[in-house]
Amino acid sequence: MIRVEQLDKSFEGRPVLRGVSLDIPEGRTTAIIGRSGSGKSVLMKHLIGLLRPDRGRVLVDGVDINAISYGELRRVRRNFGVLFQGGALFDSMDSFENVAFPLRTFTTMSETQIRDEVLQCLALVELPDAGPKMPADLSGGMRKRVALARAIALKPRYVIYDEPTSGLDPETSNTIDVLIKDLTRRLNVTSIVVTHDMHSVLDIADRAAFVYEGRMHWVGTIDDLHASTDPVLTAFVKANEYQIGNPAAREARSKEQLP
């Protein structure tokens, strides 16, 4: 279980997180939602110790990750897989070597074991033949799936998805959503999805946590989300439903998100 307690974070005197608290239960998919600039990505970086809070704690399985040595933090991080927004594949490596990278870096597996593990991970993301392909030869959706294969290579307990459908067309976005649901179930992992895509949230998440102006404004189940009359949350959801249902708005939004 991950527990965030009263997290504060400022940059150059500007508060970004203000007393954020959140429990992320095991074996479920929790979506962290909010507008651009609300603080949700900064919160995500605190979950794996990429940022240190000005105040408050992040507990991973009862361990305060900001009160341990760097070596101990590296061991905690092995419990996490991260799918970064742009995929963050190494351009100089083919897909096989990208997925093999964490196995070569953090394990003592033999080459045969690495090969078997990489092929299994690529099969799980439905790209069994992508190993020899370079990132430049892959579509945006395929790059994200290879990056997802890399994220699960070390068999993490937690997988963090940073805007997993950003810049993708609706059909490819649905493919990514299906994969997230399937992998959460098949691998018995805890998934944390950082997004403003309400279509994905309603499709894949068990719970949602709404960050607004640096504060944890609302937390609840998806059923609670449907029933909520909170005016700020409702306005956010309706604005995103408009983006989903309006082709011109969706296309403009997609172009904004492309790297």
Tokens of 252: 């403009």
Residue type for position 127: L
Tokens of 150: 């890399």
**Segment 49-99, tens digit of pLDDT:** 999 999 999 999 999 999 999 999 999 999 999 998 777 899 999 999 999
- The whole-number pLDDT of residue 256 equals 37
State the alpha helices, DSSP H only, in the chain: 40-47, 70-77, 95-106, 111-124, 140-151, 170-187, 198-204, 222-227, 231-245, 247-257
**Segment 19-39, tens digit of pLDDT:** 999 999 999 999 999 988 889
Helix (H, G, I), strand (E, B) or coil at 27: coil
Q: Percentage of the chain with pLDDT > 90?
A: 73
Whether 214 shows a pLDDT value over 90: the answer reads: yes
CA 192 to chain centre: 5
- Using N-to-C axis directions, what is the helix angle for 140-151 and 95-106, rounded to 10°? 20
Residue with tokens 């997004």: 195
Residue spans per domain, the chain: 87-158
**Segment 221-252, tens digit of pLDDT:** 999 999 999 999 999 998 876 444 444 444 44
Rounded distance between C-alpha atoms, residue 34 and residue 32, angstroms: 7
Q: Are 96 and 118 in contact (CB under 8 A)?
A: yes
